[in-house]
A and B are shown apart, each in its own frame.
Chain A
Amino acid sequence: MKRLKLPLTALLFFIMEGSFSNLLAGDIFGGDKIIVPRFIMILIAFITIYGTRRNGMIYGFILGLMYDVVYTEILGVYMFMLPFFAYLIAKIMRILQSNLLVTILTSLLFITFLEVIVYQINILIGFAHIDFNTFWKSRLVPTLLLNLAFLVVFSYPLKRMIEKQKLESDGE
């Protein structure tokens, strides 16, 4: 059961993104703002930093593949980006200290990277028509605020859970 904790959390985050975005799409925050929950990106950043790089990349690949198949129906984008980001996060963390504040900032930085790259890809394939200024105001800032709020609440329990799991698997 303990071994299943992390995969189940990952599944929960995955489902939450889908149903949250339907709630957030409503009028609560005004229809013109688009808020993208990036809980999976946060989870992958935490797994990479507090767990192992290998795990981060595996979770990134599987969750990215699921994201592509279930949500966007454009295969490849997240499946490629998420493990790649896990790899980059591991590289960056060699230089930085891994305290909670740095982890939160790193997560937000990579959410920004993800948003910008996905935006560029969507311009290429003809789905996005907004300019960078609109993108920045109506998508990026609200998205970062929501995910910051999520990080403030869940970063500590998430860190504890992943560290515990790592200790257990190291002990075996």
Chain B
Amino acid sequence: MIMPQFLNKKLILLLAGIIVLVALIGFSLRERETLSWPEQFLKDTTGWFANAFDKPVSAVTGLFENLSDLQNTYDENAKLKARLGEYVQIKTEVQALKKENAELRKILGKEDDLSKYSPIQATVIGRNPDRWNELITINKGEMNGIKANMAVITADGLIGKVKSTTPTTATVLLVSSTDPNNKISASIVQEDAANGIIEGYDDKQGYLLMKRIPFDKEIKIGSIVETSGLGGIFPSRLIVGKVVEVKIDQNGLNQTAYLEPATDFYDIKNVMVVKREVIGEDAKSEAQE
């Protein structure tokens, strides 16, 4: 009679464990912007160690990368020289356009610009090892002015947004993450611009899915897609990718565009967190609270 009782106790413990597990998962799936202080403390402490550990590791990997870079130097140099002439021409053109743009803005009396931002440089110190939810940890946090939902970019384009912050670290949710809450408002750059929302990622082909584009918009394959700056605190005109395919949704009301991302979501080392200079109404009221 002792054995079954003994087993029962363990069974109850296991069941209680499963109930707690389900409750905790449910709790963490809600959209939380602030973490509790024990979580922040744990993240900060491990972040400090990870930052220290990252220094020698990146020194070694940097050396190998430099060596492999050296192999391609000759070819690259030839290509770059060829493009140098082009560059000078584009530069003068850009300067003229910038000047014109500023003058026109003055005439309109519209000084605000959604595309203006100031970047905060950061280094990646860790990545979620199980890789289901694509999260990376960076070595800058609230103390450096980073807030939840800010855009994160590399030199090539948008890679994600800040999910949560602690005083010295921040967690970035990559655009390629299949988190159901991962949504970014974007627009397709063409004569008749089309707005939509980027949500979802096709693992097999490596394409981003841009959904909810009105069905009557004609979309040119090869158009560039940028952030629209319509949602809260993302600046506009951060490059996301290029349209490669367009499909009509099942109900026929919307279209979905498949985008080839401008950045590589795998090899990420240095990133910039983007702080928009014009603050949206949502963010303003949040700051006042």
| Contacts from A to B (Cβ < 8 Å) | 11-12, 14-23, 25-27, 31-32, 34, 36-38, 66, 68-77, 79-80, 84, 118-119, 121-122, 125-130, 134
A23–B164 CB distance below 8 A: no
A80–B131 CB distance below 8 A: no
Any A CB within 8 A of the CB of B216 = no
Instruction: Please indicate which of the listed interface residues B18, B54, B132 has the most CB atoms of chain A within 10 Å of its own CB.
Output: B132
Least Cβ–Cβ distance between A66 and chain B, in angstroms: 6
Any A CB within 8 A of the CB of B126 = yes
Cβ–Cβ < 8 Å partners of B206 in chain A: 31-32
State whether A21 and B131 are in contact (beta carbons under 8 Å apart), knowing that A76-B25, A80-B20 are contacts in the complex: yes
The A interface, classified by DSSP as helix, strand, loop or mixed, is helix
Which residues of B, 24-49, contact A by the 8 Å Cβ criterion? Answer: 24-25, 27-29, 38-39, 42-43, 46, 49
A18–B57 CB distance below 8 A: no
Instruction: Please indicate which of the listed interface residues B128, B130, B136, B163 has the most CB atoms of chain A within 10 Å of its own CB.
Output: B130
B39–A69 CB distance below 8 A: yes
Any A CB within 8 A of the CB of B50 = yes
Q: Which residue of A lies closest to B60 (CB)?
A: A23
Least Cβ–Cβ distance between A146 and chain B, in angstroms: 11
Residue among A22, A73, A76 making CB contact with B126, cutoff 8 Å: A22
B25–A74 CB distance below 8 A: yes
Q: Which residue of A lies closest to B43 (CB)?
A: A70
State whether A73 and B171 are in contact (beta carbons under 8 Å apart), knowing that A19-B54, A19-B126, A66-B42 are contacts in the complex: yes
| Contacts from B to A (Cβ < 8 Å) | 14, 17-18, 20-25, 27-29, 38-39, 42-43, 46, 49-50, 53-54, 57, 61, 124-133, 135-137, 163-164, 171, 178-180, 203-204, 206, 264, 266-269
Q: Which residue of A lies closest to B128 (CB)?
A: A71
How far is B135's CA from A15's CA once the two chains are assembled, in angstroms? 15
B53–A72 CB distance below 8 A: no
Q: Which residue of A lies closest to B14 (CB)?
A: A84
Cβ–Cβ < 8 Å partners of A127 in chain B: 132-133, 178-180
Cβ–Cβ < 8 Å partners of B125 in chain A: 18-19
B28–A76 CB distance below 8 A: yes
Q: Which residue of A lies closest to B169 (CB)?
A: A70
How far is B20's CA from A80's CA once the two chains are assembled, in angstroms? 9
State whether A18 and B130 are in contact (beta carbons under 8 Å apart), knowing that A69-B43, A75-B28, A80-B20 are contacts in the complex: no
B267–A26 CB distance below 8 A: yes
Least Cβ–Cβ distance between A113 and chain B, in angstroms: 14
Q: Which residue of B lies closest to A28 (CB)?
A: B267
How far is B42's CA from A127's CA once the two chains are assembled, in angstroms? 25
How far is B240's CA from A39's CA once the two chains are assembled, in angstroms? 35
B28–A122 CB distance below 8 A: no
Cβ–Cβ < 8 Å partners of B25 in chain A: 74-77, 121, 125
In the A-B complex, the 3 residue pairs with the smallest Cβ-Cβ separation, listed nearest first, are A18-B126, A76-B24, A22-B127
Cβ–Cβ < 8 Å partners of B267 in chain A: 25-27
